């Protein structure tokens, strides 16, 4: 059966708070297409890959003014709603830091997200559903054998992730990839995705990244994630 999700092509369709909410309720998974071009994303991934990173082991809590950090995550996450492992690089790109990586892209995404969720503040701390949040822009990189176990996003201090697809299956990796539980079947969506797509999901839908396998010369799977963290 063909997986059911909604592709909202903004060259053909309008998007606003009501349309977004209705789609998410109906489909649980919405892909916003043609907001970013493929080139816009891949040019920045190329620049990002050339920078030197220093990996830290631990990163601590999120707060305003926190320095950017990069780490390799392989710790198990255990919370009331799911227990899952991961194998991935995580690089934070907080808006208050003077770092040019993906700055234009994340600023554009924050603007779109704010429009879609009716967030009016342009400050680092903003109010959503009467709670105070900060943005956490980050880059995830799955190298060979990288994965993220199936999980749900529900969590008390996190809300509404917007994920930009930054790699293409077959070109950047050979096997594995972003997968969602649709009609009780855990389905790899990579064949339906394009670089530049923005993925939004209902917090109750199970998802993860199936183990990434690379062929010689491939760089792995990159995604740009904008999450919001309650402070």
d(CA 102, CA 51): 12
Closest residue to Fe ion: CB criterion: 153
Shortest distance in whole angstroms from residue 34 CB to Fe ion: 24
Instruction: Compare residues 153 and 190 and give the one whose CB is closer to Fe ion.
Output: 153
Shortest distance in whole angstroms from residue 153 CB to Fe ion: 4
* Contact residues for Fe ion, defined by CB under 5 A: 153
Instruction: Compare residues 54 and 80 and give the one whose CB is closer to Fe ion.
Output: 80
Q: Which residues contact 77 (CB under 8 A, 6 or more apart)?
A: 83, 84, 85, 86, 151
Instruction: Compare residues 79 and 121 and give the one whose CB is closer to Fe ion.
Output: 79
Instruction: Compare residues 41 and 163 and give the one whose CB is closer to Fe ion.
Output: 163
- The beta strands (E) that lie in the chain are given as 6-9, 29-33, 70-73, 77-78, 83-84, 86-92, 125-128, 131-142, 147-151, 158-165, 175-182, 185-188, 198-201, 207-213, 221-230
Instruction: Compare residues 153 and 197 and give the one whose CB is closer to Fe ion.
Output: 153
Shortest distance in whole angstroms from residue 225 CB to Fe ion: 9
Shortest distance in whole angstroms from residue 207 CB to Fe ion: 6
Other beta carbons within 10 angstroms of residue 155's beta carbon come to 17
Shortest distance in whole angstroms from residue 160 CB to Fe ion: 11
Shortest distance in whole angstroms from residue 64 CB to Fe ion: 24
d(CA 126, CA 124): 6
d(CA 227, CA 218): 27
Q: How far is CA 98 from CA 22, 65, 102, 141, 150, in A?
A: 37, 11, 12, 22, 34
Instruction: Compare residues 45 and 200 and give the one whose CB is closer to Fe ion.
Output: 200
């Amino acid at each position: 059966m063909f997986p059911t999700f909604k592709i909202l092509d903004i060259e053909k369709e309008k998007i606003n708070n009501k349309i977004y909410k209705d789609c998410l309720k109906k489909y649980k998974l919405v892909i916003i297409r043609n907001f970013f071009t493929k080139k816009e994303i891949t040019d920045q991934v190329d620049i990002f890959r050339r920078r030197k990173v220093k990996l830290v082991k631990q990163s601590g809590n999120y707060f305003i003014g926190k320095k950017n950090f990069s780490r390799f995550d392989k710790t198990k996450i255990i919370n009331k709603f799911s227990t899952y492992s991961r194998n991935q690089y995580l690089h934070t790109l907080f808006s208050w830091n003077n770092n040019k990586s993906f700055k234009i892209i994340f600023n554009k995404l924050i603007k779109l997200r704010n429009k879609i969720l009716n967030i009016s503040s342009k400050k680092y701390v903003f109010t959503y559903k009467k709670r105070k949040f900060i943005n956490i822009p980050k880059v995830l990189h799955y190298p060979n054998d990288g994965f993220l176990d199936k999980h749900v996003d529900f969590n008390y201090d996190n809300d509404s992730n917007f994920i930009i697809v930054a790699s293409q299956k077959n070109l950047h990796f050979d096997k594995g990839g972003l997968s969602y539980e649709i009609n009780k079947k855990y389905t790899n969506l990579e064949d339906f995705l394009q670089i530049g797509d923005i993925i939004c999901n209902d917090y109750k839908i199970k998802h993860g990244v199936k183990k990434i396998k690379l062929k010689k010369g491939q760089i792995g799977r990159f995604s740009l994630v904008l999450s919001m963290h309650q402070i």
